[in-house]
Chains A and B, each alone.
Chain A
Amino acid sequence: MDTIVDETSAVAPPPVPLTTPTLPGDAEFAALYQEHSRAIYYLALRLLSDPTKAEDVVHDVFLKAFRKLAEFRGGASWRTWLYRITINHCLNLRRAWQNRNIFSNADEVVFENAVAETDSPFRVLETKELGERIQASLDALPEEARLLLLLVADEELSYEEIGALTEQSADAVRGKLHRARKAFARHFHRSGDGETRSASIPRSRTVPATPAVPQH
C-alpha cells in the first residue's frame, strides 16, 4: 500500500456565489454549481493538464447542463450526469489536439511494464510541487488509467457508476485500477526520487527539478 506524506494542509476557500436568484430555478442551479463545480474542474484540470482549458470546460459543462436540464430524468445522480458531459467534452478536446499534434505513446510501455515501487514513504514539501508531481504522474499514464484514477478518487461514485461512465463492467474497472495505481505510484516515486528516500541528504542535492505542467 502506498504511503505518501504531505506537509501541507488543505484550506478550502469559501464558495463563490454563482447567481443572485431572480427567477425560479436560479438558486437551485447555483446550488448544483456550488456542489459539483470543484469536482468537475479538478477532473478537467487533471485530464487536460491545462488550468485555462479546465476553466473553459467548467463553463461549457454547466452551460450545456443548463440547456439539457429538461433531459435529465433522474436515472443517474447529478454528479454522474455532469461527469458524463465533462468526460465527453474533455475527450473531444484531447482528440482534437491529437489530430493536430504528434503524440508519443512511449509512456504506454512504461505503464505496461510498471512494477510496484510503492513501499517507500514519500514526503512532499510544497503544495505547488505536490500538484505538479501529481499532474506529471497522471500525464505519464494512458488516458483510460488517468480517468479511472480520477473517478475512483471521487467517493460519491461507485465502481458500477465508474463502469457506466467508462463503458465497462465494474470488475474491469477494478482490474484496470489495480494496474493504474501501481503505475501512478511508480511515476510519483520517480518524480520525487531522492527527496523521500533519504531525509538526511540535503534537499538541493537530491530533489530534481519538478517537471512543468505541460501546456497544450
Chain B
Amino acid sequence: MNSPSQFNPHGRQETQARQQSQRPPAQEFMAVEDLLRHDAAQTPVPPNVAGRLRESLAREPRPAASWWRRLLPGGK
C-alpha cells in the first residue's frame, strides 16, 4: 500500500520541510581560528589515554616537592 505522501505532493513538501527544520542549524565561522576551535571542541581525547597515563603514573616515584602547593591557585 502506498503511503499517503505519494498521493499528496503537499504532504511530501511538508515532510521535506519538517526534515529540513530538524537538521541542526548552520554555524558560521568568520575566521580559520573559529573553525579550528569548533573542530577542537568536537575532538575529545580518547578515554583510554587517561587509563594508560594512570597506569604509567602509578609506576612513577612521587614528586619530591609539593609542586601543587606552590603553583596552583589555592595551594598553601
Contact = CB atoms under 8 A, between A and B. Distances in A.
Interface in A142-174: 149-150, 152-153, 155
A109 interface: no
Interface string B34-75: 111111111111111110111011001011111110111001
B40 A39 contact: yes
Contact of A130 (B32, B39, B57): B39
Interface stretch (A5-13, A95-103, A202-210): A5-13
A28 B54 contact: no
Contacts of A150: 36
B67 A2 contact: no
Contacts, number: 148
B53 A18 contact: yes
A5 B28 contact: yes
Interface residues of A, number: 58
How many chain B residues sit at the interface, stated as a range, is 35 or more
A25 interface: yes
A123 B49 CA distance: 33
Interface centre among B47, B50, B52, B72 (most CB of A within 10 A): B50
B25 A6 contact: no
Nearest to B47: A16
Contact of B30 (A2, A6, A10): A2
Contacts of B54: 18-19
A140 interface: no
Interface of B: 23-50, 52-54, 56-57, 60, 62-68, 70-72, 75
